[in-house]
Amino acid sequence: MSQPSILVVDDELETVELIRAAFKRRRCNVIGALNGRDGLRLAREHRPAIILIDLMLPGISGFELCRHLRADPITAHIPQVILSARESPVDQAEALAAGADRYLVKPVGIKILVSMVEGLIDQHHLRDCLA
């Protein structure tokens, strides 16, 4: 399997860099976007194995980004994980309804994040192989 790409859409550069460092040892290419519009463009351009999305983004929100990604045939199949400081069950339900596969509350442990991302990538790859 080729080197997977992970798209991180978060308005905090520190978060993007932290995730990049966590996955560097795992030979994953991490692409960063600091707003929803760039995230949408980069998702279409790079077709990453998974997309990690913050809810509070400039331009379009994480909720809107999830909906756009699910509505686009090019990106609809890509697993999406919300990473947000917002703990509200209402936000979690809205994110899942918008198309997110998982919802993690920040701060999240790096080991938990890495394990979830690797599991979703493996599930998606297996699903593709069986299709």
User: For residues 9 and 54, is the Cβ–Cβ distance under 8 A?
Assistant: yes
59: left (phi > 0), else alpha (psi -120 to 50), else beta?
A: left
Contacts of 31 (CB under 8 A, 6+ apart): 5, 6, 7, 8, 42, 46, 48
User: So what's the pLDDT on residue 129?
Assistant: 57
Rounded to an integer, what distance in angstroms lies between the CA atom of residue 65 and that of residue 39? 8
Architecture of the domain defined by 5-130 = 3-Layer(aba) Sandwich (3.40)
Mean pLDDT of 55-71: 97
Residue 128 banded pLDDT, cuts 50, 70, 90: low
